[in-house]
Amino acid sequence: MSDTDTTVPVTVLTGYLGAGKTTLLNRILSEEHGKKYAVVINEFGELGVDNDLVIDADEEVFEMNNGCICCTVRGDLVRILSSLMKRRQKFDGIIVETTGLADPAPVAQTFYMDEDVKRATRLDAIVTLVDAKNLAARLDDSKEAASQIAFADIVVLNKMDLVTEEEAAEVERRIRAINPYAEIRRATKSEVPIEAVMGREAFKLERILEREPEFLSGEDNHSHNEDIMSLSFEVDQPLDEGKFNQWIGELLQVKGQDLLRTKGVLAFEGQDDRFAFQAVHMIADGDYIGPWPEGAARKSKIVFIGRDLNRPRLRRGFEGCIAAPVAE
C-alpha cells in the first residue's frame, strides 16, 4: 500500500424506521458539496432518494466458513461494492443505508473480511439516527436499537422538537450508558452539518480514542441496566506486546461474540510509537500510529463495548499485560 489513500470512503447510516435516515440521506445528497455519492439502500421508505446512482439491495448476511459464528458479512455489499469499484471514477464516496432492524456488525465486518472490499474501500464512520421521542421504547423492546448505538461513531439525536430538555437529557444519558465514545449530535428534521457525518475517518487507527468519553469512565456506566455497556481501563506502565497480543487474541476468540467494539491505544515496552488497536467482534486490526503527542503521558487505554462484560476479569487481564520491570 502506498501512502496516498486511493480507497473510497463508505459511510454507514443505521437507525430505526422513522428515525429520519432518508431525510438525512437526502440532505447529504442535496447539499452543495460538489461531491458525487453512490447510495446503497435496503428498504424503500416513504421518501424517495434523489440521486443518480441508487442501488436497491437485499440485506444478505453470510457466515464465513471459518468456524466463527460471529464472522458474518453482508453478501450483497460484497457484490455491490466490488462492482462499484469498476467505475470508481464516477463518484467520491458511498453511503450505505441499512434497514431499521439491521445489526451493524456484518456491515462493519464486510470491510475487514472481504479482500476486494478491503482493497478498494474504507469504512468512514457508522452514523446512527435515533428518534429522541421513541428511543427509550425501542431500547426496551429490541436488541438492535442498542447494537446500533453501540456501533455508532456518531449518534444523531433526531426529532428534538418533540421532546423537552429533560427528556432529551435522559435519552442522551441512556445513549452514553451504552456508548460514551459516540459523538451525539442533536437535530430536528435530520439537520446536521454534513461534515459532522461525512469524512469522519472514525475507523482510522490514528483516530482511535481521540475523543474523550462523554462520561468519565472511572465507574460502570450501566446504571440503567442496559443490555450493552462499556468499560475502559488505563495503565501507566508500559505493556508487553507479546503478552497483550496473547491476551487480546484469546479474549476475542472466547468472548468475541459479546464484544461489539474494542478500541485501544497502547504503549508497548521498548517502542517509541503508539500502538492503536480496534476490533469488531473478533475481527481485529492494529498498527503503530506514530509517536506520542508532545508532553502526553504514555498511558495505555482500552475500551470495550459489549454484553455481559466482567469488569474485574477484564481489568486483571489487561493489567496482566504490563511488562515485567527491567533492571537498568
Partner 1 sequence: MSETVNDADFLLSSRGKGEDLGAWVVGATFSRDGKAAAFALGDGTLRLASTAELAGEWKRVEAHDGACLSMVADVASGFLTGGDDGQLLRTANDGSTEVIANLGTMKWVDHVAAHPDGLRAASVGKKLHLFGKAGKLREMEHPSSVGGIAFDTKGKRVAAGHYNGASLWFVNSKDGSPKVLPWKGSHQGVWFSPDGTHVVTTMQENSLHGWRLSDGQDMRMSGYQAKIKSISFTAKGRWLATAGADCIVLWPFFAGGPMGKPPMELAGGDGILCTQVACHPQHEVVAAGFDDGLVLMAEIASGKVVPVAAPGRGAISSLAWNPAGTQLAFGTETGFAGLVDLSKR
The footprint of partner 1 (CB under 8 A) covers 53-56, 58, 60, 62-66, 73, 75-76, 78-80, 83, 85-87, 89-90, 114-116
**With contact defined as beta carbons under 8 Å apart, do 50 and 40 qualify?**
no
Which cell goes with 254? 472466547
Q: Which of 50, 182, 59, 194 is closest to 126 using CA atoms?
A: 182
Q: Which is nearer to partner 1, 79 or 133 (CB)?
A: 79
Give least dist CB 118 to partner 1, A. Answer: 11
Which amino acid appears at position 178 of this protein?
I
With a CB cutoff of 8 Å and minimum separation 6, the contacts of 18 are 100, 131, 134
Give least dist CB 63 to partner 1, A. Answer: 8
* Bridge pairing between strands 154-158 and 183-186: parallel
Q: Which of 324, 320, 325 is closest to 245 using CA atoms?
A: 320
Q: Which is nearer to partner 1, 64 or 168 (CB)?
A: 64
Q: Which is nearer to partner 1, 95 or 302 (CB)?
A: 95
Q: What is the dihedral of CA 95, 101, 105, 110, to 10 degrees?
A: -50
Give least dist CB 177 to partner 1, A. Answer: 37
**What does DSSP assign to residue 322?**
B
Give least dist CB 86 to partner 1, A. Answer: 4
Give least dist CB 32 to partner 1, A. Answer: 25
Q: Which residue's C-alpha cell is 473510497?
A: 8
Q: Which is nearer to partner 1, 110 or 190 (CB)?
A: 110
Which cell goes with 246? 496473547
Q: Which of 274, 276, 285, 279 is closest to 305 using CA atoms?
A: 279
Give least dist CB 75 to partner 1, A. Answer: 5
Q: Which is nearer to partner 1, 85 or 322 (CB)?
A: 85
Q: Which is nearer to partner 1, 54 or 235 (CB)?
A: 54
